Every structure is written in structure tokens, then in C-alpha cells.
Structure 1
Amino acid sequence: MKSAPAIAFDYAPSRLILAGVLLLSAFAALAVIASGLAIELRAFLAILALAYAGYAAKTFSTSPIIRIAHGEAGWLLVDRSGDEKAVELHHHVHRGSLLVLEFSAPAERVRRFVLTPDNIDADTRRRLLLVLAAS
């Protein structure tokens, strides 16, 4: 039996998803401001929504993982310091242009990576889908 082909690619969080989250957060703040609540409560809730959006954007955009690789030894996640961590592909979902990879490692939290056309090129995406189909 032929083993799945090796693949490695750099990972950076999607700027399109980040822009969408920030846009929806701005709409949420505008909805609170346009509501009939007391002015103090509106201001507090709008600031709270924008602060949480800023926190979520910072957390999302500063992923510690910079590279995802698959070879004969299995899946590897490489962090900013170059440390490699062996993980298991727990689940993957492919819907249209979105591809979500879910990895798990013993005694660690589950990590999910959303791949969109702006953070993975078309050829790498095609090769990754072949690897996923083979495994």
C-alpha cells in the first residue's frame, strides 16, 4: 500500500476571517448604540463589544503555530521557536473555499486551523486535499 504524500506549508491566520469578525463587531456596537437603552448602558455595552473584538482579533491573529506538516511520521505542528509537536488529525471539514483541520495531542487542547484562499495557495490546497483523502 502506498503511503500518503508528504506536505508542509506555512500557516498564518486568515485576514479575511479577521476582517469579517471586526466588521461584525462594529455592526454589533452600532446595534447597541441604535437601541433604546439608556445612554450609559449603550456606551458601556458598545465599548465592551469593541474591547472583546479587539481581544479576539489579537488572539486570532497571533497564532503560535507557523507551519503544518505531514509525512511518514504523521502530522507535525511547528511553533514560532521551531519546536515540533507530533499531533493527530482528529477531524477535517471541507466546505466550498473553507478547509478546517482539527488536531489533537495527548494532554493538550484541541487546535483548529481554518484555511481559506488568502492563507493557503491553490496548489498547496489541492495537494493537502489529496493527503486528506489518502489518510
Structure 2
Amino acid sequence: MTSAPAIGFEYRPSKGFRWALAIVAILAVLAVLLSGLAWWAKLLLSLIVLVGTRRSVRLMAQSPVSAAGWGAQDSWTVHMTSHEDVPATLASFRVLGVFVLVRLKTAGHGTHSLLLAPDNSDADIRRRLRMRLATLQTGESHARA
């Protein structure tokens, strides 16, 4: 069997996901405010939701990953914003419709979750990733059988 061609893509965090997270946070605060809790509990829970959402959005916006690539021999490389290329391994992945989420583990830079969505990646890249990840998943299920 011939090896699969390399897949490389630039990465930037999804703005659509940030907006969805903000909408969910607003709905959560609204649910807390409409609940029967005491006013101080409402205030405390609302602040916790808003601070947590702000922290999550800030962490997503400051992603240290600027690009990633999956080589023909199942080797991953992550290009950091510091212009450093770091070898990585695929920790896990999920495919949810047009979204592809990959978690890549690096030795010196920790684990990075990359969400590829319609607003931050090319449809062809996501399609190729989905196809190649599906063959990986099929190979794992055959290996377990």
C-alpha cells in the first residue's frame, strides 16, 4: 500500500467558536439570574461564568501554534509562533460534521487542541484530514479485533 500524502495547514483559532462560547456564557448568566437563588449567589455564579469564559477566550486567542503538518509516515509536526518546529504525536481526535478537533502532544510544549472549523480552515484540508483520520480509526478497530 502506498503511503498517504502529507497534509499541512496553517492554524488560527476559530472566531465562530469564540462567539458561540460567548453566547453560551450569556445564556448561563441569564439562567442564573432567573433562578431562585439569593442575590449574592446569583452575583457570585455570574462572575464565575464571566471570568471563566474570558479566560477561555483569551487562552484560545493566544494559541502558540501557527501551523501543523501530518507527514506520510504518521508523524506530526507543530510549527509554533516562535518559529520553532516541534515533533508531535496524535493524542486524540474527533470529527463532528464539518469540524475536526485534533489534540497533539509535544515533548516540550505540552498538549495542543486544534479545532478546524469552516471559518479558520480550508474545506479541502478538513476533508482530507477526515478521510485520513477515518483510515486511522478503521486500522485501530481491526487491530483490536
Tell me the TM-score normalised to structure 2 length: 0.80
5+ residue gaps, structure 2, are 137-145
Q: Distance in 1 between matches of 2:28 and 2:124?
A: 37
Matches within 5 A, 1:5-20: 5-20=5-20
Matches within 5 A, 1:1-135: 1-72=1-72, 74-106=75-107, 109-133=110-134
Q: Residue in 1 aligned with 2:142?
A: none
Number of residues of Structure 1 aligned to a counterpart in Structure 2? 135
- Give the CA deviation at 1:5: 0.5
Relative distance call for 1:41 and 1:90 in structure 2 (3 A) is: closer
Q: CA RMSD in A?
A: 2.1
Q: Distance in 1 between matches of 2:93 and 2:67?
A: 17
**Letter of the aligned partner of 1:58 in structure 2?**
R
| % identical equivalent positions | 30
Q: Which runs of 4+ in 1 moved over 6 A?
A: none
- Give the CA deviation at 1:79: 0.8
Greater relative contact order (Cα < 8 A, sep 6+): 1
Tell me the TM-score normalised to structure 1 length: 0.85
